[in-house]
Amino acid sequence: MILNVSGRTDIVAFYSDWFMNRIKEGYFDVRNPFNPKLVSRINLEDVDLILFCTKNPIPILDKIKDISKKVYFHITLTPYKKDIEPNVPNKKKIVEAIKKLSELVGKENIVIRYDPVFINKIYTLEYHKKAFERVCSLLEGYVSKILISFLDDYKNVRNHQDTIQSEILEESDYREIGTSFSESAKKHHLTVHTCFEERNLVEYGFIIEDCMSRELAFQLTGKIYKEEWKARKEKKCHCVQMVDIGVYNTCSHFCKYCYANYDEKKVRENREKHNPNSSLLIGKISKEDTIKERRK
């Protein structure tokens, strides 16, 4: 089993104490987002790999030594400011944390996500080209792979379009991004990737690779994962089956482009229900809940 921590919220940034308590207890309880009375129980002994997805790895740095499972990190590092990412810490601190993490787990176990890319009057093509070059420069020798994606039309994006004010990317824009990003990556001994994108930029030197491909999963765990991730309905994504232990509408970064938050009032309400000692990320087990152990 591969544990996804998490595509639904930033557990590392905001709930790392809860996560470590669950590691000590040896299991996680997760409500089904479509059937809240159904709870999956995931036993740590069944976990082969933990995939951490975060914008802020700082809270987990001093806890890595207490996690006995194989770990792999996707860290989102974008050049946006507080207008787009209100509560993401100072990027200089994040860069330093990535360097420290690289020393702890190895650069082969870290992927940087420059994600999502969009342009407007502030965040222009030139802005992104300079920002991407700087990311590559700062992280040379500490990571080996950078993955990019483009802005998608999520509900939260539409809700914040007055702030985002994203412009339609023309083919000339993709060409400029592809050429510039590839040159920066190569210059700093990095590979640049796309996953699940209509414009994969492969003609400019990008590598098409699923975020958690069968090949990567085998490389990390020594196990063959035949089943694709059911959470992804689009056939363009072929990531292997993973189990997400997060909850939607619980991330306090409040990024304007986020797909996992679509109700900021609900986020604040959910945060009030969080108990780091509960087996559930939000709330607690009730008598009406049905708990089923998940084995894969």
pTM of the predicted model over 0.85: yes
Q: Where are the domains of the chain?
A: 2-283
Average pLDDT over residues 286-294: 95
Q: Concatenate the DSSP letters of all residues of the chain into one string.
A: -EEEE-SSS-HHHH-HHHHHHHHHHTEEEEEETTEEEEEEEEEGGG-SEEEEEES--GGGGGGGGG--SEEEEEEE-----TTT-TTPPPHHHHHHHHHHHHHHH-GGGEEEEEEEE---SSS-HHHHHHHHHHHHHHHBTTBSEEEEEE----HHHHHTHHHH-PPPPPHHHHHHHHHHHHHHHHHTT-EEEE-S-S---GGGT-EE--TT-HHHHHHHHS----SB-TT--STT--PBP-EE---SS--TT--TT-SS-S-HHHHHHHHHT--TTSSBSSS---TT-EEEEE--
Average pLDDT over residues 121-129: 98
Average pLDDT, the chain: 94
pLDDT at site 235 = 56
pLDDT at site 226 = 80
Query: What are the pLDDT digits (tens) for 219-240?
Result: 999 999 887 776 555 556 788 9
CATH fold for the domain made of 2-283: pyruvate-formate lyase- activating enzyme (3.80.30)
Query: What are the pLDDT digits (tens) for 18-29?
Result: 999 999 999 999
161, pLDDT greater than 60: yes
Query: What are the pLDDT digits (tens) for 56-76?
Result: 999 999 999 999 999 999 999
pLDDT at site 234 = 56
